[in-house]
């Protein structure tokens, strides 16, 4: 009889305890994607008003003005449940967002605003191409800020149960910004999640990190590029951006590479080793050059699985995750910044992957839970927990444990269920 590795055995034993509860949860989640509220929206607004006034966040008149016609927006709840960062494959996400046109426009804008961006780099230590990359990813270089009333969007998400505490906090900060005059009610529009301006700052980020870059006495992240660029630099510096260090780089695995268990599947990466360690395993830079033989800590990412592009990511990659906690987003920002700065596209061609539907991800999660690999919420979100469960299943089956979701792994897990 085959003996299961202790780590995997413990993982499975723990998971099996909660399997029944998780399978039941998938049925509830599918039937009711948004949890029922204990009170109607008007009662909820009344409670919010009392809290905001008690904390002297906003005047009664201004509160009543901004909430006069607000009702929950069903489309926002739908978008919250279907965020592309957690439903698309790496290739699907990347090919939509890092296009040749976006790279070319980014290079042109970097050149156009070179003096301002150099000023930002000198002050905050963030390279021009990184600032421009965030700008391109967030608003297509200022062409699309979003169409939703920020107060309405935040109120919708704060009233919904999924992340109510987080969005209620952001909503109260948004109201404080209105009261302070930092933003005017008629200009306060942005994304479905409540982010605003060129760099799509959430209200708490706006309040803490927005900078008056042009010296006009106002921090305007909608109409002032100096304000927007300085604010992005200040925010990244505050997150711990490391001056003169890369975010990461594409690497090439040797043909006989077998240490797939060292690849990180979680967000942020859970396994880091010195570059000298990766070098000893035969990993080379994307251009074929040797990796430096140094102690710089790096994590190996395989976002399209063992046969796709490979990346070593460093500390600044983790800072990008602090901006948006999605490894697809972080890899896209990093690679877009490389190309805007004059670098090439992938050394290894990026193949288009078939998109997996949310319903299929939910079914996979339920199947992995039944097999004892998955213990989290059945939500259709391709996050760290699902990747870790896939990797554990792959390990048991003698496959490279890359944690990658594709049609093949879905079919293999389903076959395991039907053969039980």
Contact indicator for 109, 301 with CB cutoff of 8 Å? no
Per residue of the chain (420 residues), what is the pLDDT tens digit?
333 444 344 444 444 433 333 333 333 333 333 443 557 999 999 999 999 999 999 999 999 999 999 999 999 999 998 877 677 889 999 999 999 999 999 999 999 999 999 999 999 999 999 999 999 999 999 999 999 999 999 999 999 999 999 999 999 999 999 999 888 888 889 999 999 999 999 999 999 999 999 999 999 999 999 999 999 999 999 999 999 999 999 999 999 999 999 999 999 999 999 999 999 999 999 999 999 999 999 999 999 999 899 999 999 999 999 999 999 999 999 999 999 999 988 887 788 888 888 899 999 999 999 999 999 999 888 889 999 999 999 999 999 999 999 999 999 999 999 988
Contact indicator for 323, 334 with CB cutoff of 8 Å? no
Q: How far is CA 237 from CA 37, 90, 133, 232, 404, in A?
A: 40, 27, 16, 8, 32
Write out the residue limits of the CATH 1.10.8.350 domain(s) in the chain: 41-82+146-211
Q: For 41-82+146-211, which CATH class?
A: mainly alpha
- Residue 50 has which token pair? 């009392």
Contact indicator for 52, 165 with CB cutoff of 8 Å? no
């Amino acid at each position: 009889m085959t003996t299961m590795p202790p780590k995997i055995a413990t993982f499975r034993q723990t998971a099996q305890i909660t399997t029944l509860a998780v399978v039941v949860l998938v049925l509830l989640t599918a039937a009711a994607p948004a949890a029922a509220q204990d009170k109607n929206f008007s009662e909820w607004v009344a409670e919010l008003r009392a809290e905001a006034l008690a904390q002297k966040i906003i005047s009664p008149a201004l509160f009543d003005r901004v909430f006069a016609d607000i009702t929950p927006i069903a489309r926002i709840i739908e978008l919250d449940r279907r965020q592309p960062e957690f439903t698309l494959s790496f290739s699907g996400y990347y090919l939509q967002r890092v296009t040749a046109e976006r790279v070319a426009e980014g290079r042109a804008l970097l050149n156009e605003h070179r003096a301002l961006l150099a000023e930002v780099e000198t002050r905050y230590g963030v390279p021009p191409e990184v600032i421009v990359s965030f700008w391109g990813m967030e608003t297509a270089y200022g062409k699309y800020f979003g169409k939703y009333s920020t107060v309405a969007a935040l109120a919708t998400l704060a009233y919904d149960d999924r992340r109510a505490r987080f969005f209620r906090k952001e909503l109260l900060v948004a109201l404080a910004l209105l009261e302070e005059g930092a933003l005017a009610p008629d200009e306060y529009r942005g994304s479905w999640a409540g982010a605003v301006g060129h760099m799509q700052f959430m209200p708490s980020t706006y309040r803490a990190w927005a900078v008056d870059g042009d010296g006009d006495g106002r921090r305007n992240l909608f109409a002032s590029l100096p304000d927007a660029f300085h604010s992005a630099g200040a925010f990244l510096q505050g997150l711990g951006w490391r001056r003169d260090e890369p975010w990461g780089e594409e690497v090439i695995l040797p043909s006989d590479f077998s240490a797939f268990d060292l690849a990180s599947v979680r967000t942020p990466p859970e396994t880091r080793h010195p570059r000298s360690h990766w070098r000893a395993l035969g990993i080379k830079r994307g251009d074929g050059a040797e990796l430096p033989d140094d102690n710089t800590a790096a994590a190996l990412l395989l976002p399209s699985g063992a046969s796709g592009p490979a990346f070593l990511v460093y500390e600044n990659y983790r800072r990008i995750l602090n901006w948006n906690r999605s490894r697809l987003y972080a890899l896209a920002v990093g690679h877009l910044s490389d190309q805007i700065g004059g670098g090439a596209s992938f050394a290894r061609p990026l193949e288009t992957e078939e998109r997996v539907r949310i319903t299929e991800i939910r079914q996979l999660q339920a199947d992995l839970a039944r097999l004892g690999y998955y213990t989290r919420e059945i939500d259709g979100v391709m996050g760290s927990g699902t990747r870790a469960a896939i990797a554990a299943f792959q390990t048991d089956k003698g496959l490279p444990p890359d944690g990658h979701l594709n049609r093949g792994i879905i079919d293999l897990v389903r076959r395991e269920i039907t053969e039980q």
